[in-house]
A and B are shown apart, each in its own frame.
Chain A
Amino acid sequence: MEKMTNSGKLGSFKAIISRGNLPIPALLSLLIVSAFTATRSPEFLTFDNFVQISDQASVTIILVCGLTFVILMGSIDLSVQGVMASASMATALLVGNDRNQNNWGYWSIPAGMVVGALIGLIAGLAVTRLRIPSFLVTMATWNIGLGLAYVLFGNTSQPSVKDKGMLALGLETFLGFSKATWIALVVVLFCMWLQTRTKFGRYAYVIGGSEEIAKLSGINVKSFRALSLVLSGALSGLAGSVIVAKSGIGAVQAGEGQLFLGIAAVVIGGTLLSGGRGGILHSVVGVYIMITISVAMILLDVSDFYQQIVQGSVVLLVVSSTAWRQRRPLRTVV
């Protein structure tokens, strides 16, 4: 019998790149941005600076891990800032604080995650049961989250954390890195495991690749899609709680700017908004690129306003360059 051989042999460098499991283009961009900054500002290449960037990236990394699964399945979660706001208020009001007698200690962190998960569940059910596009649903839950935060805020002052342990979590370091960085690392490892070793993670690619094929293969698309929004909510909640530890206060503005940063990071990392491609590592590298750019601009003494312009332009550039290959003059055939 004749054998059909194929170039699909693995192990070679080319094969590793082409499999797309690693965010090679994003890593290259990160390298270019870093190299450019290092030539202009020698202090960029210090260990302290890496610690600094990692600490700044930690909150965004935590939330993009959840967001990545949502986007892999071809949906979107715009609610992160609203979720972070309500989780931040919930955490700050449950941990030892100056507004009430609660003293939940570290348990206030999972409480923040539960608040996030519940908001995510509402979104998940609305998307899968009521069949409303995730874009609209999460825009609604974004505002629900913000509203909830304002209700908890009431008309008194911002709650300040009194709990020593909680404050220490935000300030102390472990092996040179901030504790927030370590929390982000644990989240990343957990989500990598989800991505590569669980049905949920593997089917995220299937659903994003083709919902129809997924359904024809007997996959419960609705449950997995809802679950991705719950996870995204829970991790946005965790991000909100970590901000409480870092800042020492619960704030409605806790998540400000994180939506842009998060989605930009996911896209720059190489996860397609149409779903099916990319992954956790991609998004983490994406966050590093965004944070590095802003740190570089501080080091290079560029004004805040230009920073936003540059970050926005980078996103536009990356998105159009990735979309370029997919662009077709007219959708025809199959």
Chain B
Amino acid sequence: MGIRVKVEDVSMSFGVVHALKGVSIEINDGEVVGLVGENGAGKSTLLKVLSGTNQPDSGHFILNGKKEKFASVADATRAGISMVYQEQSLLPNISVAENILLGIEGEAIKLGTYSPRKVRKVAAEYLRRVNLDVDPRTRTEDLSFGTRQMIEVAKALAVAEFSGKPPVVLLDEPTSVLERKEIKVLFDVVRSIKKETSVVFISHRLEEVLEISDRVYVMRDGEVVSEVKPNQVSVDELFALMVGRDLTQSYFREELTNVPESSNRLEVKNLSGDGFKDVSFEMKKGEIVSFLGLQDSGRENLARVIFGALPGKSGKILLDGERYKVKNTTHAVKCGIGYIPSERKTDGVVLAMSVAENLTMSHPDEVTTLRLFNKGKMNRVVLSWIDRLGIKTPGGDTPIRSLSGGNQQKVVLAKWLMDENLRLLILDTPTRGLDVGAKTEIYAILRDLAAKGISILFLADALEEGIFMSHRVFTMKDGKISAEFPSAPGARPERTDVVERML
């Protein structure tokens, strides 16, 4: 068994965040390599480097004994490496066959003329290999999500083999959106293709990784911290390796923990919406409640429905004991609800605008006089917030894109904190992609807000964050609350118990 791809000393950083620090791994012929690590550990970045999507700052690959660097996705595919993306890359509006062979039609296009028959024939062969009984002429959008995921695999296989080189297929969390039965089919396929194809596999579900992989690399904070054989470790041991970090109280600023007031801030009764059903829970004033769940657990949509960004189907919400009928986001903001979306760069800040403009966007009344914009007032308000949250920026006029992720996120927080009537803050993975220092600062701000009586609904990015930051932890699974755990300094729920209820 030879080494197919060797990654040597690859480093990469996004601004001040070191996503990869001197990572070296090997992928052998006919092997399934598992990659595990927390969010932000660098797994996805490593795959993006391997697939040519991102270019590392330093380091290189060795293929067939030769040093290589990929400048683009095309370079990687020419070397036989292709990736199945987390967010699906199939076009909904064309046929399955066209999707599988997109850009690699080969013989099927001659002199610009397209032979649907040939495309269909080749695609059918790949569908057979991933064990899919689907007519290649089917419009892709007519298929279920699980089936489309399998077609992604077929496509990746086709792309990798088109190079004529031994194929390597990278799977970035392919199971997070699949049902149990579909996962079984996927694993069967992986086992059947691995004779000729090397596979790199990422999953959050550790038992899956142990089941399918021949070898597992554990990543933490951008580094490979260990390499294990699945038959030599248990899920718990793997988890311990993955988290590793010294969970000192100071990291989560536990000393700032407050005691929530006794009265209810939010009561959600039998709320249903797209992706979740019959969810009921309460939140006290000044309470931090975290929601943990996998990608399809429904927690994101639950948060969006409460904020009015998605329509709810049925149920009742009470805010401070009064009926709160969500109409839209404007209404939610008026009622004192703030929301920080997960995608900071696209949904959280307007990158083209300045710090000051971003900061005052949601509450323009704070910087206007008689509904007219008041520059002096704006400067005073903005500077006071920059000072209060310790935002590192040359000034209010600075374009927000030039700030680090953590400081951008502070601006987003300030945008909501400006509202003196803020009662409930909904945070969707606010620390994603931030470095350790920035995370700690955000944690301190959140604890400070809770102490002022603001309730925080927290969709945590990582397990430990959810557990250590909250007064109570809810786990969600398949659109329902699956468990509730009280959480206090010194009396935190067990990680394994929490994970168990998420899966």
Contact = CB atoms under 8 A, between A and B. Distances in A.
Interface of A: 1-10, 15, 18-20, 196-202, 205-206, 208-210, 213, 216-219, 276-277, 329-330, 332-334
B362 interface: no
Contacts of B304: 330, 332
B300 A333 contact: yes
Contacts of A217: 102-104
Contacts of A329: 308-311, 328
B91 A213 contact: yes
A8 B134 contact: yes
Interface of B: 73-74, 87, 89, 91-94, 96, 98, 102-105, 109, 112-116, 131-135, 137-139, 142-144, 146-147, 150, 181-182, 184-185, 188, 192, 300, 304, 308-311, 328-329, 341, 343, 347
Contacts of A200: 112
A198 B113 contact: yes
A7 B139 CA distance: 11
B185 A6 contact: no
Contacts of B113: 197-199
B192 A206 contact: no
B146 A206 contact: no
Given A206-B91, A216-B73, A201 B114 contact: yes
Nearest to B95: A19
Nearest to A196: B116
Contacts of A218: 74, 103
A8 B184 contact: no
A208 B304 CA distance: 29
A276 to B, nearest CB: 5
Contacts of A4: 131-133, 146-147, 150, 182, 185
B171 to A, nearest CB: 17
A217 B112 CA distance: 16
A197 B116 contact: yes
B139 A332 contact: no
Nearest to B132: A4
Contact of B144 (A6, A201, A277): A6
30 contacts: A1-B192, A2-B131, A4-B150, A6-B133, A6-B138, A6-B144, A6-B147, A8-B135, A8-B143, A9-B135, A9-B138, A15-B138, A19-B142, A196-B114, A197-B115, A198-B113, A200-B112, A202-B114, A206-B91, A209-B91, A209-B93, A210-B91, A213-B102, A217-B104, A276-B91, A276-B93, A329-B328, A330-B304, A330-B310, A334-B87
B389 to A, nearest CB: 25
A2 B179 CA distance: 14
Contacts of A202: 94, 98, 114
Contacts of A210: 91
A3 B131 contact: yes
Contacts of A333: 300, 343
Given A2-B185, A202-B114, A217-B103, A19 B89 contact: no
A6 B188 CA distance: 18
Contacts of A9: 135, 138
A199 B114 contact: yes
A324 to B, nearest CB: 14
B323 to A, nearest CB: 21
A118 B310 CA distance: 48
Contact of B188 (A1, A198, A205): A1
B132 to A, nearest CB: 6
A2 to B, nearest CB: 6
A330 B309 contact: yes
Given A4-B150, A10-B137, A330-B329, A206 B309 contact: no
Instruction: Tell which of A10, A208, A219, A332 has the most Cβ of chain B within 10 Å.
Output: A332
A276 B94 CA distance: 8
Chain A contact residues: over half helix, strand or loop, or mixed?
loop
B112 A198 contact: yes
A202 B108 CA distance: 12
Pairs A-B, 6 closest by C-beta atoms: A217-B103, A8-B138, A209-B91, A330-B309, A218-B103, A276-B93
Given A1-B188, A4-B133, 18 more contacts: A2-B184, A4-B150, A6-B134, A6-B143, A8-B135, A10-B135, A10-B138, A15-B142, A18-B142, A19-B138, A19-B139, A202-B98, A213-B89, A218-B74, A329-B309, A329-B311, A329-B328, A332-B309
A205 B147 CA distance: 22
Given A213-B91, A219-B103, A6 B132 contact: yes
B310 A216 contact: no
A332 B310 contact: yes
A5 B133 contact: yes
Contacts of A3: 131-133
Instruction: Tell which of B102, B109, B135, B300 has the most Cβ of chain A within 10 Å.
Output: B102
Contacts of A208: 93
A10 B133 CA distance: 12
Instruction: Tell which of A18, A330, A334 has the most Cβ of chain B within 10 Å.
Output: A330
A276 B139 CA distance: 13
Given A8-B142, A199-B109, A219-B103, A2 B98 contact: no
Contacts of B133: 3-6
B131 A206 contact: no
A82 to B, nearest CB: 29
Nearest to B192: A1
A332 B144 contact: no
A197 B117 CA distance: 10
A329 B104 CA distance: 38
A5 to B, nearest CB: 5
Contacts of A206: 91, 94, 98, 102
Contacts of B328: 329-330
Nearest to A11: B135
A31 B139 CA distance: 26
A265 to B, nearest CB: 20
A213 B192 CA distance: 28
Nearest to A208: B93
A334 B300 CA distance: 12
Contacts of A205: 91, 93-94, 98
Contacts of B96: 8
A332 B102 contact: no
Instruction: Tell which of B73, B98, B139 has the most Cβ of chain A within 10 Å.
Output: B139
B479 to A, nearest CB: 16
A2 B300 CA distance: 33
A197 B98 CA distance: 12
Contacts of B93: 20, 205, 208-209, 276-277
B73 A198 contact: no
A281 to B, nearest CB: 16
A1 B133 CA distance: 12
A213 B83 CA distance: 13
A2 B89 contact: no
A74 to B, nearest CB: 12
Nearest to B98: A202
A195 B139 CA distance: 16
Contacts of A8: 96, 134-135, 138, 142-143, 147
Contacts of B109: 199
A197 B111 CA distance: 11
B142 to A, nearest CB: 6
Contacts of A5: 133
Contacts of B87: 334
A8 B96 CA distance: 10
Nearest to B311: A329
